Amino acid sequence: MSELFSSCQLIERFSGSDSQLAGLVQSWAFVFAAAVFLCFIVGEITRNYSQTDKLWSLMPLIYAWLAVIYYPASSRLWLMALLVSLWGARLSYNFFRKGGYSIIPWKGEEDYRWKIMRDHPALKGRLRFGLFNLFFISFYQHFLILLFSAPLLLAAKYHNTTLTVIDIAAGCLMLFFLVIETVADNQQFRFQKQKRKLPAPGPLFGESLKKGFLSEGLWGYVRHPNFMAEQAIWITFFFFGVSASGSLINWTITGPLLLILLFQGSTRLTERISRSKYPGYADYKKSVPKLLPRLLIKR
C-alpha cells in the first residue's frame, strides 16, 4: 500500500493540477505493470526468457500513441509518435526475420545471451535465474524502456508549446541514425545468411567469412554500428523533451544514460563471446573502435 501511495504522490507531483496528464501517467503505469507481469510469468512457464525482447520495439509505440490520444492537438507528440513508429516497425521487422516472433506469441528464437547467462555460476538454478528474470529481464528492462520514452511525458506536460529548431534537428538526426541502424542490421543479416550458406544475392563479405565475424561494411568503421545508432536514437529523442520544457537538464536524461550503461554490459558480453570463438577478433578489436569512428577513416 505504501508503494502505491508513493506512486500516486509521484504522479500528482509531476502532473500538478492537470488531470489529463495524470490520466496519461496512470495509463503508462498500467501498461508497464501489465508488461512486467506477463513477461515474467510467460518466461518462467516457457523457459524462453526473450519475452521482453519481443516487446522492446512495441512498448515505446504504445506509450507514444497513448500520449497522442490524450493530446491529439500536439504537433510535437505527433512527430515523436511517428518517429517512434518508424523505429519500432524497423526493429520489429529485424527481430521477426531473425526468428524472434512466432505465430504462438510466447515462442520464437531466444536471444543467445540469455542461454549463456543461465550457465553463469551466480545465476545457475531455477530460483536464482527466476529472480534475475523478475528483477532484471522483466522489471528493469521495462522500466528502462519507460524511462527512455519519458520525453513524451514532458512533451505532453508542455503540449501548448510550439515546434522549435531543436525539434526539427532532433527529428532529422533520429532519421539519420535510423538509416545507419537499418544499414547495419541489413549487413549483419546478409552476412549471417552467407555464413550459414543460405541463399543470399551476390558474394559479399568475403574477408569476413574467412574470419568468421563481420568486419566489413559499417563494421569496418566501428565494431558495433547498430549499437551505436540505437543509443544515438534515444539520446536524440531526449531533445524533444528539452525543446518542450526549455530545460537542457531534466529528469528524462536518466533514460538514455541508463541505456548507454546497458549497452556497455551487452557489448562486453558480446565481445567476450566473439573473442572466445574467433582467433582474429582480438586484432580486429585493436584496430577498429568500439562505437565512435575515427573521423570516418576506415582502419
Q: 4 with 123, same domain?
A: yes
Q: 253 with 126, same domain?
A: no
Q: 171 with 142, same domain?
A: no
The answer to the question of residue 152 being in a domain is: no
- The three cell numbers of residue 223 are 565494431
Q: Which ranges of the chain have pLDDT less than 50?
A: 1-8, 10-11, 297, 299
The answer to the question of residue 178 being in a domain is: yes
Q: Rg of the chain's alpha carbons, rounded to an integer?
A: 21
Q: 226 with 257, same domain?
A: yes
The answer to the question of residue 98 being in a domain is: no
Q: 127 with 182, same domain?
A: no
Q: Describe the crossing of helices 75-97 and 225-245 by its angle, rounded to 10 degrees.
A: 160
Q: 204 with 263, same domain?
A: yes
The answer to the question of residue 108 being in a domain is: no
**pTM for the full predicted model:** 0.88
Q: Which amino acid is at 182?
A: T
Report pLDDT for 106.
77
Q: 4 with 134, same domain?
A: yes
Report pLDDT for 3.
43
Q: 180 with 127, same domain?
A: no
The answer to the question of residue 298 being in a domain is: no
Distance CA 169, CA 162 (A): 14
Q: What is the pLDDT of residues 116-125, one digit of tens each?
A: 888 888 888 8
Domain containing 213 equals 164-292
Q: 5 with 123, same domain?
A: yes
Task: Report the b/e string of 168-206 with b at 16+ CB within 10 A.
Answer: eebbebbeebbebbbebbebbebbeebeeeeebeeeebe
CB 52 within 8 A of CB 132: no
Q: How many CB atoms lie within 10 A of CB 258?
A: 15
The answer to the question of residue 96 being in a domain is: no
Report pLDDT for 7.
45
The answer to the question of residue 112 being in a domain is: no
Q: 218 with 276, same domain?
A: yes
- The three cell numbers of residue 172 are 532529422
Report pLDDT for 9.
52
The answer to the question of residue 107 being in a domain is: no
Q: Which amino acid is at 289?
A: P
Residues sharing a CB contact under 8 Å with residue 193, sequence separation 6 or more, in sequence order: 199, 200
In sequence order, what DSSP letters do the residues of 61-98 get, joined into one string? HHHHHHHHHH-TT-HHHHHHHHHHHHHHHHHHHHHHHT
Residue with cell 523478475: 134
Residues sharing a CB contact under 8 Å with residue 28, sequence separation 6 or more, in sequence order: 63, 66, 146, 153
Report pLDDT for 104.
82
Report pLDDT for 5.
43
Helix (H, G, I), strand (E, B) or coil at 152: helix
Q: How many structural domains does the chain have?
A: 2
Q: 139 with 169, same domain?
A: no
Q: 183 with 125, same domain?
A: no
